[in-house]
Amino acid sequence: MGGLIYLYGLIPTKEATNQSFPTLKGFDGEGDLYTIHIGKITAAVCDLDAENYSEESIKDRINDDMEWLQEKAFHHHETVVNLSKIFTIIPLKFCTLYKNLNSLETAVQSKESKLMSSFDLISGNEEWNLKIYCDDQLLKKQVSQSNPTIEAKREEISQMPKGKQFFEKKKLDKLIESQLEEEKNKISEQIHLHLREFALKGNVKKNWGNDVTGRKDNMTWNGVYLIPESKIEVFLEQLQHYEKSMQKAGWQFEATGPWPAYHFSSFS
Amino acid sequence: MAGIPLFQLFISEDEVMSLRESIENKDIALIDILDVILDKGVAIKADLVISIAGVDLVYLDLRLLIASVESLVQAQEGNRKTISSEQFDSQREELSHATGQPNKWKD
């Protein structure tokens, strides 16, 4: 019977041998996590019975998968976070499985130098996420009022015959809409560039739609930052400053962290 | 469901870092976690429906997970289309092959 190996993360062997490894329940809720030393790198893993990943059980899961996914996603996250509190860790993505020890060892060995420089990069730094939201209606008002061309155009339209007004208003709306998007991007990007000054690295992710966020305002920025521990407080203070000065204009800032360095330590 | 806080990120022991502490103590939604731990993040359609765009896997098993998530998406859209028997067969073969198990479903 083949047993699978679930890989949570990679730790420098130096750290793994210096500190005791915590007792943490594995993916199936039965076995515990354990470590496998592969030269300078130590893998934090658990065993997974291949039998439980048969088509049959997966078929069953399809019916109530959300629950399963939620439970297992939390488990993965919680486990990696727990480890990241003790060790420098390169976190692995959800459900990274190896069919046997040999395949895991080969994968780690072939990337040893890349992994070692990843440890150097993330050690002493933290990953933080920032999502910026904007109330389009509020900003739209500002854009259309503060723009003299738009104001003049509006005045001009009001003097036109009704039939013509309709089409001209449509055109004007389009103009305001595109200026709004431009304005939102410009402001978000300025903030991003400013915040990056406090970070080692900063990446931009895709914005989520309102159906995901369940919010009325729109996500205009989704960024991840790798920040030196000593600069986190300043980074957050900058955010707070933005929040205070821009809130009335319809802007919201949501920071989460620290996250294990998922975005800055790729193993793939 | 997306807005419901489901998880609390760990609590800092450092009392000096108040700003940081207040953020650390905030609840994290499942969707935030999925967007981080799934390779390509998540793209949501409605009511926390997940579609995963080309998840890059070190090894095979997640494809099975994706198959199940896709099926869930379709079911929630009221357009239920479960995995075809051919897809199941091919996934089963891949899994049996990868795990080195005898193929129990051999026809």
Please report the DSSP string for A96-126 in residue order.
-EESSHHHHHHHHHHTHHHHHHHHHHHTTEE
Instruction: Please indicate whether residue B15 or residue B56 has the higher confidence score (pLDDT).
Output: B15
Distance from CA of A117 to the nearest CA of B (A): 20
pLDDT confidence of residue B96: 56
Look at the block and give the residue holding tokens 């900058």.
A238
Q: Given an 8 Å threshold on Cβ–Cβ distance, is B7 in contact with A107?
A: no
Of A1, A59, A232, the CB nearest to B20: A232
Look at the block and give the residue holding tokens 């059980």.
A57
| Residue environment code for B35-74, b if the CB has 16+ CB neighbours within 10 A, otherwise e | bbbbbebbebeeebbbebeebebbbbbbebbbbbbbbbbb
A41 in Cβ contact with A10 (< 8 Å): yes
Amino acid (one-letter) located at B67: A
Distance from CA of A64 to the nearest CA of B (A): 8
Of A50, A129, A259, the CB nearest to B99: A50
CB atoms within 10 A of CB B104: 11
What contacts A81, CB < 8 A, 6 or more positions away?
A: A260, B9, B10
Amino acid (one-letter) located at A156: E
The size of the A-B interface in CB pairs under 8 A is 146
Tell whether A81 lies on the interface with B, counting CB pairs under 8 A. Answer: yes
Of A55, A70, A209, the CB nearest to B88: A55
Q: Given an 8 Å threshold on Cβ–Cβ distance, is B3 in contact with A213?
A: yes
Q: Given an 8 Å threshold on Cβ–Cβ distance, is A98 in contact with B58?
A: yes
Tell whether B25 lies on the interface with A, counting CB pairs under 8 A. Answer: no
Tell whether A203 lies on the interface with B, counting CB pairs under 8 A. Answer: no
pLDDT confidence of residue B94: 60
pLDDT confidence of residue A206: 85
pLDDT confidence of residue A184: 94
Q: Is the pTM of this model over 0.90?
A: no
Report the chain B residue with the minimal C-alpha distance to residue A1.
Answer: B101
What contacts A268, CB < 8 A, 6 or more positions away?
A: A93, B39, B56, B58
Tell whether A94 lies on the interface with B, counting CB pairs under 8 A. Answer: yes
- Reading phi first (left if > 0) and then psi (alpha if -120 to 50, else beta), residue A160 is in beta
Least Cα distance to A69 among B26, B54, B55, B69 occurs for B69
Distance from CA of A153 to the nearest CA of B (A): 38
Helix pair angle (A148-158, A162-196), 10° resolution = 170
pLDDT confidence of residue B37: 83
- Could you give the dihedral angle defined by the CA atoms of residues A242, A243, A249 and A254, in that order, rounded to the nearest 10 degrees? 120
Instruction: Please indicate whether residue A146 or residue B56 has the higher confidence score (pLDDT).
Output: A146
Tell whether B84 lies on the interface with A, counting CB pairs under 8 A. Answer: no
> Is the model's pLDDT at B11 over the cut of 50?
no
A36 in Cβ contact with A42 (< 8 Å): yes
Decide: residue A143, CB within 10 A, 0-12 exposed, 13-18 middle, 19+ buried.
buried
Distance from CA of B74 to the nearest CA of A (A): 11
Q: Which residues of chain A have pLDDT under 70?
A: 1-2, 53-66, 211-212, 268
Report the chain A residue with the minimal C-alpha distance to residue B55.
Answer: A93
Q: Which two tokens stand for residue B86?
A: 């051919």
pLDDT confidence of residue B29: 74
B23-33 average pLDDT score: 75
Span B60-92, pLDDT tens digits: 233 334 433 444 444 445 544 445 556 656 666
Q: pLDDT-derived band of residue B43, with 50, 70 and 90 as boundaries? A: very low
